[in-house]
């Protein structure tokens, strides 16, 4: 597969009304890459993700997915682009009044012409991929948080997306489940060749899966570091990045407290 830029962000400024969250963001995500957006709480990571998946319109700047400008396309084209991406929300965001099977069936019925039998087959295949074989008829409230997350992933993958977005995949999971989810992300990337964008502040999973990363800072309101997470840990000379990646083992705690409180 030829390497090309799956996602390109030019001079993106994000704002809620007059309050600017981040400005002058520039980065590209290559096809098949696992790209991590990291940063402390409240720096705008999740807001950036909401921009990338088309839920929020940029205050300024452009987002290109597969070379198409997301916000200069018509509503129809935008839906078409977005249907090729899968999103896993923090809490799974499963529709609570539907069973897992119905949850996964919604995008399949909406965007494909599959027969009922084929849809049932796809559902059981997707559920088995995330280790939930046989849980078709359960409601989200009847399964655990980790299972909800995996079911959310099954739904995000329903349409064989070529780009997957994850919002805090490890949040609320025990270390083992979180590790298994990381492995699953890697497996899926390797086997499907999909591009993966992850918003996370879980160091373990950032180092485990991330090929490339950007570090958002809430004070300077922009990207202060770019590169592979491991390299950033070894060679970054920015104290803020080092503090984050070493869990504040470097740099004095005093400045830490002043920054975050």
Partner 1 sequence: MSAVVHEKYILEPRDAGFCLQLTGDWRFSDGIPDIEPLLQRLSAEPTQQQLNFDGNQLGKWDSGLMTFLVQLIEYCQQQQIEVKTAGLPPGVQKLLTLAFAVPERKGARRQILGQPILTKIGNVTIEMHRSWYDLLHFIGEIILSTLKMFRGKARFRRSDLLYQIEGAGPSALPIITLIGILIGLILAFVGAVQLRLFGAQIFVADLVGLGMAREMGAMMTAIIMAGRTGAAYAAQLGTMQVNEEIDALKTMGISPVEFLVLPRLIALCITMPLLCIYADFMGIIGGAIVCSTMLDISFFQYFQQIQNAVPLKHFIIGIVKSGIFGVLVATSGCFRGMQCGRSASAVGYAATSAVVTSIVLIVVADAIITIISQILGV
Binding site for partner 1 (CB under 8 A): 95-97, 112, 114, 118, 121-122, 124-126, 128-129, 131-141, 160, 184, 187-188, 190-193
Nearest to 13 by CA among 233, 223, 248, 227: 223
Nearest to 168 by CA among 155, 154, 185, 189: 185
Task: Write phi, then psi, for 106 (nearest 5 degrees).
Answer: -55, -55
Residue 127 is encoded by which pair of tokens? 């559920």
Whether 82 and 53 have beta carbons less than 8 Å apart is answered as: yes
Nearest to 166 by CA among 133, 122, 210, 204: 210
Q: Could you tell me the smallest distance in angstroms from the CB atom of residue 238 to partner 1? A: 37
Q: Could you tell me the smallest distance in angstroms from the CB atom of residue 224 to partner 1? A: 35
Compare residues 187 and 234 and give the one whose CB is closer to partner 1.
187
Compare residues 80 and 190 and give the one whose CB is closer to partner 1.
190
Compare residues 112 and 259 and give the one whose CB is closer to partner 1.
112
Q: Could you tell me the smallest distance in angstroms from the CB atom of residue 212 to partner 1? A: 22
Kindly report the length of the chain: 261
Residue 92 is encoded by which pair of tokens? 């799974």
Residue carrying structure tokens 């991590």? 36
Cα–Cα dist 22/25, whole Å: 7
Compare residues 10 and 84 and give the one whose CB is closer to partner 1.
84
Q: Could you tell me the smallest distance in angstroms from the CB atom of residue 159 to partner 1? A: 9
Q: Could you tell me the smallest distance in angstroms from the CB atom of residue 184 to partner 1? A: 7
Compare residues 136 and 211 and give the one whose CB is closer to partner 1.
136
């Amino acid at each position: 597969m030829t390497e090309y830029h799956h996602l390109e962000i030019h001079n993106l400024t994000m704002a809620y009304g007059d309050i600017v969250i981040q400005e002058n963001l520039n980065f590209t995500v290559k096809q098949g890459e696992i790209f991590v957006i990291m940063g402390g709480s409240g720096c705008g990571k999740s807001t950036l993700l909401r921009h990338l998946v088309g839920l929020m319109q940029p205050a300024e700047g452009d987002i290109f997915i597969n070379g198409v400008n997301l916000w200069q396309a018509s509503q129809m084209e935008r839906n078409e682009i977005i249907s090729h991406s899968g999103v896993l929300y923090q809490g799974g965001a499963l529709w609570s009044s539907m069973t897992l099977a119905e949850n996964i069936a919604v995008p399949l019925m909406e965007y494909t012409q599959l027969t009922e039998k084929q849809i049932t087959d796809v559902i059981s295949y997707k559920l088995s991929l995330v280790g939930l074989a046989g849980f078709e008829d359960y409601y989200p409230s009847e399964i655990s948080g980790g299972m909800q997350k995996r079911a959310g992933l099954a739904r995000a993958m329903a349409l064989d997306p070529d780009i997957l977005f994850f919002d805090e995949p490890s949040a609320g999971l025990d270390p083992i489940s979180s590790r298994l989810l990381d492995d699953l992300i890697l497996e899926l990337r390797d086997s499907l060749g999909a591009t993966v964008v992850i918003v996370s502040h879980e160091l373990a999973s950032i180092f485990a899966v991330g090929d490339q990363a950007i570090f958002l800072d809430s004070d300077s309101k922009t990207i202060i570091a770019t590169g592979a997470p491991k390299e950033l840990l070894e060679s970054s000379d920015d104290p803020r990045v080092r503090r984050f990646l070493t869990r504040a083992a470097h740099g004095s705690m005093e400045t830490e407290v002043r920054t975050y409180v």
